[in-house]
Each structure stands twice: as C-alpha cells, then as structure tokens.
Structure 1
Amino acid sequence: MIVTFITAPILGRLLHPADFGLIATSAPIIGFVTMIQNLGLTQAIIQRQMITKGQTNTLFWLSLLLSLTFAAGLSVLAPLLARYFQEPRLTAIIWAGAVLTVVSVIAEQPMALLTRGLRFRLLAVLDILGIVIGAALGVAIAWYTRSYWALLVPLACARFLNLVVSALAARWFPGRPVWDEAARQMIGFGAGLSTFNVLNFFARSADNLMIAKAHGAVALGFYDRAYKLMLLPLTQATWPLGRIIIPILSRLQDEPEEYRLTYVSSVSLLMLAVQPGVLCAVIYSDATVALLLGSKWAEAAPIFAWLGFAGLHQTFTSTTGWLFISQGRMREFGIVGLVGSTLAIASFAVGLPWGPLGVAISYVVSDYALRLPFTWYMTGRAGYVGVGDIYRIVIPHACGLLVSASALVLVKASLQAPSPVALGGILVVTYVINSAVLTLFRPKRLLMIRALKVACRSVMLRATS
C-alpha cells in the first residue's frame, strides 16, 4: 500500500488523465477473460479438505485449455473492440492483455497450492516484490516515455514473477489428469464461484464501459482514478487477509464456535485498520486527491468522496464472500451476485446522464438502500455467522465512525485546506477517536487488548532473535 501511495502521485503527474482512461477502457475486457477462463478452480483447490496431484493436474489442464481459447478469441476481437470505442490504440493493449491472461492462469495453480499449504510468508514476499519491482519499472517507463504502457508494466511484472517463483517454491509441474468424482465436485464448486465472479465483474466494470462510451476517455480517467483510489486501502488490506482466512475457515467447518470467533476477530481488526483512514480521506477528499494525484485531478475529488462513502461499509461487506466460499454455499453466493450486480448496473444507468459524478452518487444510494441489507440477510440466514453476529460486529464500528466524522467536520470548518503534515495529524486523531469509542464496547476492547499483546510479543521476539 505504501508503494502504491508513493507511485500514484508520480504517475498522476507524469501521465495524462486520458492515458488512465485508455487503460481503464481495456481493463474490463481483459479482466473478464482473466476471470472466466479460470472458472473459480483456484479457490476450489484451496477450499477442498483433501486433494490429489491428479486432481490438481485435471484442474490445471482444463484452466489452460480455457485460457488459450479465450485469449485467442480476445485477440481476434481486439480490432473490433478498438473500432467500437473509436480508439485504435486499444488493439495492441488488448493483445498484450491476452498474453498476460495466459501467464496468469499458468501461475494460479502453484499459487493456490502455496496458499493451501499456508505458506503465507512466501506469498507476502512475492506480492511485495511484484509491487516494488513493477512500480519502479512503471515509474521509469512513464518518466522516459510519458506513455500509457507504463500502466501495464506493474501488472506484467507481477504476473511473470508469480509464475516463476510460485512454480519453483511449490515444486509442482503439471502431469497426467485424473477425472474422478472429486474433480467433478471441484469443477462444480468452481463453476458456482465463477458465476458470482462474473456477475460481480459486470457490476464493477459496467460503469467504466458506460462512461467511456457516453462521456469519453478523459471523463473515465477521472472516474477510474477516483475509484481505484477508493479501492486501494480495501484491496490492499482485504485481499491478502482473505487469502489467509479462507483456507483457515475451510479447515474450521467442524468447529462452529472457533469458526465464528476467527471470522469476527479478523473482520473487526480489518475494520479498525481501514475504516478511519477511509473516513478521513472522504471528508478531506480535495486535499487527499491533490496530495496523491496532483492538482490536475481536482475533478476526481467529489467522485472519490462519494465512492469512499460506499467504501466504509464495503470494508466489511466484501468479507462476506469468505463465509460463502469456506462453507461451500455457492448457490446463495450466486444469488447475492445476481441481485447485487443487477442493482449496481441499474444505478449506473440512472446516474449516467449526469456524468461520472452522477454515476457515483446513484451507485452509493443504491448500495446503502438495497444491496447492503440484502447481502447481510443472505449472509446470515445460514452458516456459522448469523445476522445478529453481523450487527454485533458492525454497530460499534458505526458508532466510532459517527463520532469521528462529527469531529472531522468541526475540524474542517476551521481548516479547509490542510498541509500534508496537518492532514497526517488529522488522520492520526481520527484513528485515536475511533479506537476510543470502540473501547466502550467490551468485545471490541478485549479484542484490541489481545491484538496489542500479540503485536508486542511479536516485536519482542524479533528483537531477541
């Protein structure tokens, strides 16, 4: 996250908003192919309690066959897509993306085996190396060429690094496939997960495609940067934690109470770590965007503020997928994806006539009024974490955010445009206020004390080792 916060303002100053809009136009197309060609088989490997080498071979060859087929189709369609968006440069970008989709699928099998083996330290190092090396190369290329290709370099670097290192670390190479009942069950599980992923993908990509077609690359550039900036703290915290928690929860299915405590503790600490920062960035959206992207991105600030408001609850809501996946509740997960994506796309269409800001506002209103309560209901209606557990998780954090927001509004009344140092101080105060409110709730207080003890013990062990 630190590397991204450093490189985002540099790239924002070196490249034009239209460059970001161009890549954002191609991203949904490439991302869709990347997602459907795997069929959710990676999570099937992680979630399965017992798996053989022959079964992993079966899933690998099936994924590779689908990947090559979709990549070839994408390459053929690239000129037509470029003509549709009236942007000839899209052809080469989509061709490059097609190659990366194949690389990604080949790497996913050994990556899944490393995750299944709980080798999280290696995976974390691999993630960090990919981010750091990719960011350095991306900034260097942007500096010397001022080209939109600099935005694809970090992705390419991470994909190739994942492939090489994970294959060597897992000591796994594809062999003869075995078609048995367990393999068919995993394919069924993956298909159910893939259904949700496809629906969720459409919901996350339809806004980009609509804005690109209706308002052009520059407008999409502002929207895309605001959206990516909002997602940054969520993805950088939620995705790595999810990679750890899902296999752990999958192994706790026979211990309901331990399962529930593990999920509640993990999500509570995640919300404590992410939500106050998002709240501060939302209220000081102008200063945040100017600091991280530069003054020429001022139009992105109100878009970022509205999307960030949705990000406050998505810090929690995005983790509900951990429950569906670890419990194998793919049918319900698919229903959540279908309803959620339909509501999201409808909200984009409603707000589209008013430009990117209208899309953001319409999405947030729909998210809080419709998608959030439905998702919470579907999550808690079965399994080990009920609706009551969800409210007990969320209400203390909501109280902390309300008190913190009130304090920030009062501060902003006298400090409209803080310096970077002042903004950092305000951020610290936000975390302090939020934490103080949470200590009023006994379960949160005990959790924070326990987490602090673990952190102190870890620091002491490292100091003495």
Structure 2
Amino acid sequence: MTDSVTPPGLSPESPDFSPQGNATALKRQSAVGAAVTMGSQGTKFVLQFGSQVVLARLLLPTDFGLLAMVGPLVAAALLLTDLGLSAATVQRPTINQVELSSLFWLNVLIGCGLAGVAIAAAPLAAIFYATPAVTPVMMTMAAALLLSSLSAQHIALLNRRMRFGAIAMIEVGALIAGVIVGVGGALWGLGYWSLVAMQVTNGAATLILACVFSRWRPSRPGISRDALHLLRFGGTVTGYNLLGYLITNLDNILIGARFGAGPLGIYDRAYKLMFQPLWQMTAPAARVAVPLLSRLSADPAEYRGAYLAMLGGVLTLTTPGILCAIVFAKPVILVLLGERWIASAPTFAWLGVAALSLQLRQAASWLFVSQGRAQEQLKWGGLGSAAVIAGYLIGIFWGPKGVAMSAAISSAAVQIPMMWWAVTRSGPVTRSDAIRLLVPIAAAAAIAGGLLALAAYAFVWASLPMLALAGVLAYALFIGALALFPEGRIQLAKAGGIVRRLAKR
C-alpha cells in the first residue's frame, strides 16, 4: 500500500457520492425506499422463515449448535473487517473517489488479515468447545470474511445514495441463492455442511450483485492519508458494535462451552425464530434511518419529526407480534418447528421479553450515529452492555432459559434506560419527546398482553389457523388499547398516513 497523500491514478477532485435534494425530497426518497424495502422484506421473511422451518425438520439440534459455536467468532471478525468504515461512508457529509477507494482497500486489507487469523485460531476454538468439527467449519467460514470485506463499500455507497431498491434486490437475490444451496444440501444429507454452504453462497452472491448494482469500481490499490481520519469515527462505531456483538453472541459462547452443541442448537433455533422476523419487520426503518437523519441534521424540526415517526411506526408494527410470540410460545414452537424442539419454548418466551426492549437500543443508535456522537455511544453503550454481560454470567447457572431471562431483565432495567438518558441529553430529540412516544406504547402493550394471556387459557391454539387468529387478535387488542391515549391516537394517525402514502406508490 502506498502512503502518498493521493493514491496513484486518483483525482482529488473526484465527485461526491450523495443523494440530491432538500429535506422534503430526501424524506420522499426515504419513504419510497422504505416502501421498496418493506416489499422485499416480505419476500425475505417468507424465504428465511420458511427455510428455518424446513431446515429444523431436516437437520438435528447438534447441526445448528455447531454453526452457533462458530457463528460468534465469525461475527466478531466481520465487525473488525468492516471497522465501522461503512458507517463512515454513510454518515460523512461528503466523500469522494479518493476516500471511498481508500476505504475499500482498507476493508480488503483487514479482511485478508482476519481471515488468516480465523484459520489459525480454528484449532483453538475446537479445543475451547471440545468439539473437533469446529476446526474445518471455522476454516471454511473464513471465506465469508473475505467476501464481506470486498462488498462492504459497494453496499455502503448504495446506502449513502439512498438506493434502497437496489439493496433490497441484492439481499433477496443473495438469500434465494443461499436458501437453494442450504436446503438442497440438507436434502442431500450434508448435515451441518449445508448450513456452512448456505452462508458462503449468500456472501458470494451479495458480492456479485453489489458490484453489478453499485456500478462503482475502486481505483488502484492505495490508501490516502486524507482518508485515514475516517478510521477514528469508524473505529469508535466498531467499538460500540463489538459491545452489541457481546450482547448477541456471548450467550451462545457460554451455552456452547458449558452445555455443548445440543442445548446450544435448541437455544439458537429459539433465538433465530424470535429475532429474524423482528429484524425483517424493522429493516425498512433501520435501512433509511441513519442516511436520512444524517442529511436532515441541519434542520432540528425535520430531524425530530422524521425520527419520531420512524420509531413510533416500528414499535406499533412490532410490539403486538412480540406479545403474541411470548404468550403463545409453546404452540408456536410445536406448530412451526415440531415436537423435538418443544424444550425451547420457555427460552423463546423470555427472548421475546428481551426483544421488547432491545429494539430501543438500535433506535438510540440511530440518534448517536446520525449526530456524529460515536464517542458518547461507545461510553454509555459500554456501561449498559456491561450490565447485560453480568446478567449472562449469572443466568448461565440456570441454563439457556436463565440466560434469556437475564438478558430481558438487565436490558430493560439498566441498558435501555441508561442509553436513552444519555442520547436525549442533547440533540433535536428530547426526553419529553421520548416519554410522550413510549408511555402510551408501554401501557398499550401491558393491556394487550394481559388480555392475550387470558385468551391463551380459554382456547386451544396448537394449530396454524389458530396461531394466525392469535396474531390478528394481538394486533387488534394493541391498536385498540393504544387508541385509548391521546398520544396513541396521534401515532396511529401518523402510521395510517404513512401506509396510505406508501400504498399510492
């Protein structure tokens, strides 16, 4: 790599890669992006949820447990591969070809190094888990690190340009390729290798499609000194993301090390069944939040209105579904995964309790990152994460269910209040804004949850049509309860307006 101010072959006057337009145009573009993303999420939901159900019936808990052992290690390496450089590309007010190409080559350099580390560390991971099969699986999964490093800046550039339709097509196309390979491998009898092939295929397809849709090519290898200052912002964001990694992966590490692949596989299926649909539902807002808010940062009123509308919409959309999953945890597991997975039902219910508050963690991150307050996010996120990690270390003595229970309690009681207290100390969104938004939703959730619990005792729900009815009932009860509050009615009116505007598009 060259250490010159401008890498060879690059022009420092290269154009900026940003969406054009005023606040109104940007919000309109974000609404279109959210609509496109929402449509693609329906396809992704069917593919991911369907493949989960099919693979759960074709493979054993130990197969999923083995991948769940390797997953946290690969996830940590993926975070370090990106080093927050994608976030820097999206958040930066302007960026040119010199900086963007430099960030690409930094990603590739880091990815190659971490892939080598993963291969070298694979035997040690096998010793830690006392599972020899971890070694070849982890070595193969190192390919995912290289693929991710090559596609990171292409995806970040599309996100910066707010080309959400292209990103949606990339994600759906890559997922289709991965599901075909994974399910085909399971039918062919490849066991856990079908899950490995599914992950690697997804990464390869993402890279190919990202290059096609972005129409951007890096310049010759080189790293500009002018781009290195972005490492500070990116590194701080990565520090916070590593804390998030600990929260979402330390549970797997502890369960796998203490109880083995079988119990970990059961826990992993409960976790994926709870959180993957949630991620699908929140993806439209998560996709547009940081680029939109970053562009609106100079207009506090527009920023505040856009943020509160997104967060209110997300919570109104997701809360009833989570409540339904908590109350009807046993029939959900029985109907969707089958009898041999029934032991995961209590864990699944407690993970649902954790999901009610953990989505607020992501929403706080939108504020920190879009306002350029990455140092504060790292500080307060670190303190909150320490409470969750302490909960894991206590909960592990009660098995997988104890880990899920500790995550729910420590997140709701310590982490989320701490982060929201910190993020609303300054900036366009105040504590009173947050209270006006969240109190009616919390009250409606309590009312709807109590009524659902009564319904759970009154009828037999162990069939797919009855579970569908339970979902409809959950949303009806929640919306009815939210309408009891003046602020709740305002939120419902805003949500209805957004739906009508999206429908016209």
TM-score by length of 2: 0.87
Change (3 A) 1:457 1:362: closer
Q: Please, which of 72, 83, 91 is the counterpart of residue 39 of structure 1?
A: 83
CA distance in 2, matches of 1:424, 1:185: 52
CA distance in 2, matches of 1:244, 1:146: 38
In the alignment, which residue of structure 2 is the partner of 1:303?
Answer: 347
1:346 aligns with 2:390: yes
In the alignment, which residue of structure 2 is the partner of 1:8?
Answer: 52
CA distance in 2, matches of 1:379, 1:290: 41
Change (3 A) 1:239 1:455: closer
Q: Please, which of 196, 207, 212 is the counterpart of residue 240 of structure 2?
A: 196
CA distance in 1, matches of 2:157, 2:498: 28
CA distance in 2, matches of 1:302, 1:292: 15
Change (3 A) 1:460 1:320: closer
1:175 aligns with 2:175: no
Alignment size in residue pairs = 460
DSSP 3-state at the match of 2:188? helix
CA distance in 2, matches of 1:396, 1:80: 50
In the alignment, which residue of structure 1 is the partner of 2:125?
Answer: 81
Contact residue 199 and residue 338 of structure 1 kept, 8 A: yes
How far residue 416 of structure 1 moved from its aligned partner, in angstroms, is 4.4
Q: Deviations over 1:236-290 (max 9, x none)?
A: 2334421211100000010011101101001111111111011001100001111
Return 133-142 or 20-29, whichever deviates more: 133-142
Q: Please, which of 248, 266, 271 is the counterpart of residue 315 of structure 2?
A: 271
One-letter amino acid of the counterpart of residue 306, structure 1: W
How far residue 440 of structure 1 moved from its aligned partner, in angstroms, is 3.2
In the alignment, which residue of structure 1 is the partner of 2:377?
Answer: 333
1:251 aligns with 2:301: no
CA distance in 2, matches of 1:459, 1:235: 22
CA distance in 1, matches of 2:443, 2:195: 39
Q: Identity rate of aligned residues, in percent?
A: 33
How far residue 456 of structure 1 moved from its aligned partner, in angstroms, is 3.8
How far residue 323 of structure 1 moved from its aligned partner, in angstroms, is 0.7
In the alignment, which residue of structure 1 is the partner of 2:439?
Answer: 395
Question: Could you list the runs of 5+ residues in structure 2 that have no partner in the other structure?
Answer: 1-44
Contact residue 278 and residue 312 of structure 1 kept, 8 A: yes
How far residue 450 of structure 1 moved from its aligned partner, in angstroms, is 4.2
Q: Please, which of 375, 384, 391 is the counterpart of residue 428 of structure 2?
A: 384
One-letter amino acid of the counterpart of residue 309, structure 1: V
Q: Deviations over 1:223-248 (max 9, x none)?
A: 11112222113222334421211100
Contact residue 111 and residue 162 of structure 1 kept, 8 A: no
Aligned pairs (5 A) from 1:43-442? 43-176=87-220, 177=222, 179-181=224-226, 183-442=227-486
How far residue 136 of structure 1 moved from its aligned partner, in angstroms, is 2.7
Return 388-397 or 278-287, whichever deviates more: 388-397
In the alignment, which residue of structure 1 is the partner of 2:66?
Answer: 22
RMSD: 1.7
Q: Deviations over 1:296-324 (max 9, x none)?
A: 10110000101111111223332111111
Change (3 A) 1:450 1:393: closer
Contact residue 332 and residue 462 of structure 2 kept, 8 A: no
Contact residue 103 and residue 160 of structure 1 kept, 8 A: yes
CA distance in 1, matches of 2:195, 2:345: 21
Contact residue 441 and residue 488 of structure 2 kept, 8 A: no
Contact residue 309 and residue 494 of structure 2 kept, 8 A: no
CA distance in 1, matches of 2:150, 2:178: 19
Question: Could you list the runs of 5+ residues in structure 1 that have no partner in the other structure?
Answer: none
CA distance in 2, matches of 1:353, 1:32: 25
Contact residue 55 and residue 179 of structure 1 kept, 8 A: yes
Return 202-211 or 259-268, whichever deviates more: 202-211
How far residue 180 of structure 1 moved from its aligned partner, in angstroms, is 4.3
Contact residue 200 and residue 340 of structure 1 kept, 8 A: no
